[in-house]
Amino acid sequence: MTVVIGVVAVLVAVGFPMGWLMTRSTTLGLLLAPLVTGLVCSAAAIASTVTGAPLLPWVVFIAIVGTCACWWQEPQLSALPIRPTHLCGIIAIAAPLIALYQFTSVGWDARSIWWFHAEWFRAGGAKVAEAMTEPSFRYSHADYPPLASATIATVAAVLGQGLESRVAQAVSFVMSFAALILMAVSLTWVVRARTPLLVWATVVVAGLFALGAAGFEASGLSDGYVDNLWSAWFVLAALLLLLHPYSRSAVLLGSLALAAAVLTKNEAFPIALVLVVLATIRHRRHLRHSWFIAIPIGLGIVWQVLARIEGAQSDLQGGGHIVGLVTGDPAVIGRIGPTLGRMFADIGWFAAASIVVSVLGMLLTVSVRRWLGVGLDVWFWALFVASLGMLVIAFAVSPYNLVWHLGTALNRTTVHCETLLLALVSVNLLLALHRLLVPPPSKPASAHSSRSNGVEDTSIIAREV
């Protein structure tokens, strides 16, 4: 327990000042702290690797510069409020996940990838560069992004301990749990409740959403893997960029969450590109005020280029069959069918149920969707299909035995796809409840225009959320 308190203290100390300055809200500032800390540690890891210098001085420097920049700016996320009681309600429903932390054991990849890289970062940029070129570490995916490992390294360094597994495990759990809760809270921003009954219904649905999203790979919250972590940030970004009515605050937080996802795992990069393209199309009229939507892609490119310059190789580069896919090699094409079969067996019924909910939702909640300015489910379906397509390609060109690779990785790598579907189900459930419990407005057209023209509707939010 002492370790968890120490870990929370470090994550809050680094990330809370910037979180609070961006939101002017203690509750949301605390919830954002792990995300902000992760981004600061990632930036520090990149700077440390480039300069060959130790990590911790860079973390301190970037945290101070970031805090000064946020102080100088106006609060950027003030249109996304959450009351402490509602947040406590969501956490209370998701509380069984906290109990899992006591039971879950450490996963193999946690040691051989994320915590091993944390040792590199803790030893400084020179050691990171040396490790990336070390051929005998290729099994460790030396090109994987730095967020999770650099954050673990920073916390371990600040706590003044060696890189003990209980510290690393606690960092993984606190980061993942906070990301999951932040993603659930975003439901309350997408479907803004207008009566007390609906507010508490939203809290319950958000809590179940967090619980269900973790359920796809619940041990992944605390076994040291990062699939739940990047998936939560990715779906948070998707909710804010594709379903939330346009607001600068939503686009900014969505961009920060997407940047964190991209800096957490390689798989996030191509699908983040698709999300940015979809969001750019949706918000094409507001791009002048939302240029930062491209930052996640820029950061992803920076890390990939840096890793290649330092000599790291991805497993697909090392022995993948990308050329075979392009030339139509039957051995590669033949892997697509079994991959689709396993995917269908794993998530087929859930995808079918989600399609039913989504179609019914699109037919029955048109007016309330328009009134609240909520985006169409079609955006999410496009993202889901693109995600599945990329996974199929990745398994097809993978250098590993297909049966082994699907058996060890499919559950984890489809977490973001399933979470996207669960988000759709939750949003449609809330919209239907909204339609049933709140009388429709007398002039929906004017209400819609005030929500969709980019003006922050903070007075309504402050009174009713």
Please give the residue ranges that form the binding site for another protein (CB under 8 A). Answer: 96-97, 99-100, 103-106, 108, 111-112, 116, 119-120, 123, 127, 130-131, 134, 136-137, 139-140, 165, 205, 208-209, 211-212, 214-216, 218-219, 350, 353-354, 356-357, 360-361, 363-365, 422, 425-426, 428-429, 432-433, 435-436
Contact 182/236 with Cβ under 8 angstroms? yes
Q: What is the CA radius of gyration of the chain?
A: 22
Nearest-angstrom CA–CA distance, 4 and 340: 40
For the bound state, the minimum distance from the C-beta of residue 435 to another protein, rounded and expressed in Å, comes to: 6
For the bound state, the minimum distance from the C-beta of residue 407 to another protein, rounded and expressed in Å, comes to: 15
Nearest-angstrom CA–CA distance, 446 and 12: 42
For the bound state, the minimum distance from the C-beta of residue 440 to another protein, rounded and expressed in Å, comes to: 11
Phi-psi category of 439—alpha, beta or left, where left has phi over 0 and alpha has psi -120 to 50? beta
In the bound state with another protein, the residue whose beta carbon lies nearer, of 282 and 370, is 370
For the bound state, the minimum distance from the C-beta of residue 263 to another protein, rounded and expressed in Å, comes to: 22
Tokens encoding 453? 């023209």
Q: Nearest to residue 188, comparing CAs of 38, 11, 380, 27?
A: 27
In the bound state with another protein, the residue whose beta carbon lies nearer, of 33 and 201, is 201
Nearest-angstrom CA–CA distance, 455 and 457: 6
For the bound state, the minimum distance from the C-beta of residue 362 to another protein, rounded and expressed in Å, comes to: 10
For the bound state, the minimum distance from the C-beta of residue 425 to another protein, rounded and expressed in Å, comes to: 5
Nearest-angstrom CA–CA distance, 132 and 143: 7
Q: Nearest to residue 372, comparing CAs of 283, 443, 429, 444?
A: 444
To the nearest 10°, the Cα dihedral for 178, 184, 187, 193? -100
For the bound state, the minimum distance from the C-beta of residue 432 to another protein, rounded and expressed in Å, comes to: 5
* Sequential DSSP letters for 24-60: S-HHHHHHHHHHHHHHHHHHHHHHHHHHT--HHHHHH
In the bound state with another protein, the residue whose beta carbon lies nearer, of 88 and 356, is 356
In the bound state with another protein, the residue whose beta carbon lies nearer, of 219 and 280, is 219
In the bound state with another protein, the residue whose beta carbon lies nearer, of 150 and 260, is 150
Amino acid at 26: T
Instruction: Please name the helix (run of DSSP H) or strand (run of DSSP E) that holds residue 62, with its range, or none.
Output: helix 55-72
Report how many helices (DSSP H) and strands (DSSP E) the chain contains, helices first: 25, 0
CA quadruple 348, 350, 351, 357: dihedral sign = positive
Tokens encoding 171? 């960092």
For the bound state, the minimum distance from the C-beta of residue 360 to another protein, rounded and expressed in Å, comes to: 4
Nearest-angstrom CA–CA distance, 265 and 204: 30
In the bound state with another protein, the residue whose beta carbon lies nearer, of 16 and 121, is 121
In the bound state with another protein, the residue whose beta carbon lies nearer, of 88 and 204, is 204
In the bound state with another protein, the residue whose beta carbon lies nearer, of 242 and 422, is 422
For the bound state, the minimum distance from the C-beta of residue 175 to another protein, rounded and expressed in Å, comes to: 19
Nearest-angstrom CA–CA distance, 283 and 355: 25
In the bound state with another protein, the residue whose beta carbon lies nearer, of 106 and 295, is 106
